[in-house]
Amino acid sequence: MKQIWLNLPVKNANDSKTFFSAIGFSFIEEHTTPNSACMLVGEKQFVIMLFEEPQFVAFSQVPLPDTKSSSELLISIDASSRKEVDEFALLVTKAGGNLFAPPAEIEGWMYGCAFADLDGHRWNMLYMDLDKIAK
């Protein structure tokens, strides 16, 4: 296997591209179409393909879940500091995301926030202080 990437359904690829650009993600333009966008996340440039809903349904051959009442996955982003989490939470809010869990300490060794993007997909950003994990 060469690589893994994630595919997400979106209502409008251009709106999603604008949102994710505003929070710091980049795109591969040559892999972007009017109905999709190829997004890169993190230092290792993990690929997330954003497909408009009709195209996604054609690929997956099942109905879309209702992201207002359920979540199929939680996408986690590794942060390098608590400050990065705080700054990211502000970017998400300014870009129109739903910050449903503001920055806070979690279990004594993590610090993070969680948000829903324009299409209701759930994400979190976590700073993990591995020296504080209870052994």
Q: Do 44 and 104 fall into the same domain?
A: no
Residue 70 per-residue DSSP state: -
CATH code for position 117: 3.10.180.10
CA 70, 4, 125, 29 dihedral sign is: negative
Q: Smallest Cα–Cα separation from 110: which of 91, 129, 134, 95?
A: 129
* Residue-wise pLDDT tens digits, 54-70: 999 999 999 999 998 99
pTM summary value = 0.91
User: Of the residues 17, 34, 63, which one is the last residue of a structural domain?
Assistant: 63
Q: Which domain holds residue 14?
A: 1-63
Percent of the chain surpassing pLDDT 70: 99
Task: Count the domains in the chain.
Answer: 2
Residue 31 per-residue DSSP state: G
* Residue-wise pLDDT tens digits, 110-134: 999 999 999 999 999 999 998 888 7
How far from the centroid of its chain's Cα atoms is residue 22's Cα?
12
20 phi/psi in degrees, rounded to 5: -70, -30
Question: Which pLDDT value is given to residue 62?
Answer: 94
Whole-angstrom distance, CA of residue 134 vs CA of residue 114? 23
